[in-house]
């Protein structure tokens, strides 16, 4: 069992993470001209929820075409085509195309031969030791969960308004979908909310029903809500007291329900055009 972001990962979930980071077939986005020049097979197949988050396919231009390739099919392409195809993923803003420089010390010089010598894509052949790769992939964008630093008395006092916060803190979801809104609602005792891709409307309805406007960061049960200029809720967290707060940074399979200081969450969530609002949960 390995630990990622301060959270122990079961062998079962680790195996699924390997499949989600390096699926047996992965999508490559190309223009019609690139597909023709490189003689690539095209498909209308859509990535599932996990792969959509791995490759950030929702950020890719919808006018592009998609070629699903296995590692063997990719490796059989001429080196020039592989190089152009991998470079195209960077240009087209597909994710999971790391630099050789960043990973050569872990994976060796062999990865320089996969494509253009500067970028590569993940295949299972590179994940023989997932414990050397996955923690670094996940931790490059997030800090560790600090749930083990929270004093027992803080958890006990938080239980009055957040009966499930301690249960959820320091856990990864079973896949993509569960998000910040569902995490806050689940911490407040809404069963099953932690497993849902909670939408804005039900979260706002819960907020209206269960909280009052205003709040203090140092006490448990203050819901921190970030809204954009159009008043749409964009992110949420909840304080558990003594300067700590619980949140889930995104709906991705690789972001945990984690404890950070309230200050750390406020700094990490600072985004142009977003405004922070506080709500106090009813007791």
Residues 115 and 76 in one domain: yes
What is the tally of structural domains in the chain? Answer: 2
Summarised one tens digit per residue, pLDDT across range 235-252 is: 999 999 999 999 999 999
Domain end residue (candidates: 58, 92, 126): 126
Q: Are residues 86 and 166 in the same domain?
A: no
Helices (H), the chain: 11-21, 32-37, 49-55, 71-76, 79-91, 100-107, 130-139, 152-158, 165-168, 180-187, 200-210, 262-269
Q: What percent of the chain has pLDDT over 70?
A: 100
* 181 and 56 housed in the same domain: no
Residues 186 and 121 in one domain: no
Instruction: Quote the tokens at residue 167.
Output: 């249960």
pTM of the model: 0.93
Mean pLDDT of 63-91: 98
Give the model's pLDDT for residue 143.
83
Query: Rounded mean pLDDT of 13-33?
Result: 97
Q: Is 80 exceeded by the pLDDT of residue 167? A: yes
Residue 247: per-residue pLDDT:
97
In a domain, 112, yes or no: yes
Instruction: Report if residue 7 sits inside a domain.
Output: no
- Tokens 């949420």 appear where? 236
Whole-number mean pLDDT of the chain?
96
Q: Which domain holds residue 37?
A: 23-126
**77 occurs within a structural domain:** yes
**Residue 6 located in a structural domain:** no
| One domain for residues 116 and 217 | no
Give the pLDDT mean for 116-124.
97
Q: Coil, helix or strand for 206?
A: helix
Residues 158, 114 within the same domain: no
Rg of the Cα trace of the chain? 21
> 259 in helix, strand or coil?
strand
Long-range contacts of the stretch 113-117 (C-beta < 8 A, 24+): 113/79, 114/82, 114/86, 115/79, 115/82, 115/83, 115/85, 115/86, 115/87, 116/82, 116/83, 116/84, 116/86, 116/87, 117/83
The two tokens of residue 97 are 């195309």
pLDDT the model gives residue 141 = 73
Other beta carbons less than 10 A from residue 15's beta carbon: 12
With H, G, I as helix, E, B as strand and everything else as coil, classify residue 236. strand
- Last residue of some domain: 92, 126, 160? 126
Q: What is the reported pLDDT for 217?
A: 96
User: Do 106 and 174 belong together in one domain?
Assistant: no
- Chain centroid to CA 125: how far? 23
156 and 241 in a single domain? The answer is yes
Over residues 128-162, the pLDDT tens digits come to 999 899 999 988 777 899 999 999 999 999 999 99
Are 105 and 203 in a shared domain? no
pLDDT (tens digit per residue) in 211-225:
999 999 999 999 999
On whether residue 17 sits in a domain, the answer given is: no
Question: Is residue 49 in some structural domain?
Answer: yes
Q: What is the pLDDT of residue 47?
A: 97
Query: Are residues 154 and 104 located together in one domain of the fold?
Result: no
160 and 91, same structural domain?
Answer: no
Q: What's the CATH number where 175 sits?
A: 3.90.1720
* End residue of a domain, out of 126, 160, 189: 126
Is 68 inside a domain boundary?
yes
Q: Is the pLDDT of residue 27 over 90?
A: yes
Confidence of residue 60 (pLDDT cuts 50, 70, 90): very high
Domain co-membership, 68 together with 121: yes
**pLDDT for position 257:** 97
Q: Examine residue 141 and state whether it is found in any structural domain, yes or no.
A: no
The reported pLDDT for the residue numbered 127 is: 95
């Amino acid at each position: 069992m390995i630990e990622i972001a301060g959270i122990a990962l079961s062998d079962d979930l680790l195996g699924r993470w390997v499949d989600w980071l390096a699926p047996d077939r992965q999508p490559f986005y190309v223009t019609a001209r690139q597909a023709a020049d490189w003689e690539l097979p095209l498909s209308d197949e859509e990535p599932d929820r996990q792969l959509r988050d791995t490759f950030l396919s929702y950020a890719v231009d919808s006018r592009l075409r998609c070629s699903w390739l296995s590692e063997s099919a990719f490796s059989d392409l001429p080196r020039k085509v592989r190089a152009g195809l991998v470079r195209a993923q960077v240009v087209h803003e597909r994710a999971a195309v790391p630099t050789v420089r960043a990973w050569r010390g872990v994976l060796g010089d062999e990865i320089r031969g996969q494509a253009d010598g500067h970028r590569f894509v993940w295949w299972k052949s590179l994940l023989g030791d997932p414990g050397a790769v996955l923690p670094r992939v996940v931790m490059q964008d997030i800090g560790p969960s600090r749930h083990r630093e929270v004093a027992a008395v803080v958890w006990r006092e938080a239980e009055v308004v957040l009966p499930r916060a301690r249960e959820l803190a320091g856990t990864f979801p079973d896949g993509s979908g569960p998000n910040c809104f569902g995490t806050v609602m689940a911490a407040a005792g809404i069963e099953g909310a932690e497993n849902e891709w909670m939408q804005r409307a039900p979260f706002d309805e819960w907020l209206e029903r269960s909280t009052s406007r205003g709040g203090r960061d140092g006490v448990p049960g203050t819901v921190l809500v970030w809204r954009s200029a159009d008043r749409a809720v964009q992110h949420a967290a909840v304080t558990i007291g003594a300067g700590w707060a619980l949140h889930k940074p995104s709906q991705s399979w690789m972001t945990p329900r984690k404890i950070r200081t309230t200050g750390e969450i406020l700094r990490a969530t600072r985004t142009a055009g977003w405004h922070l609002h506080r709500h106090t949960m009813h007791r």
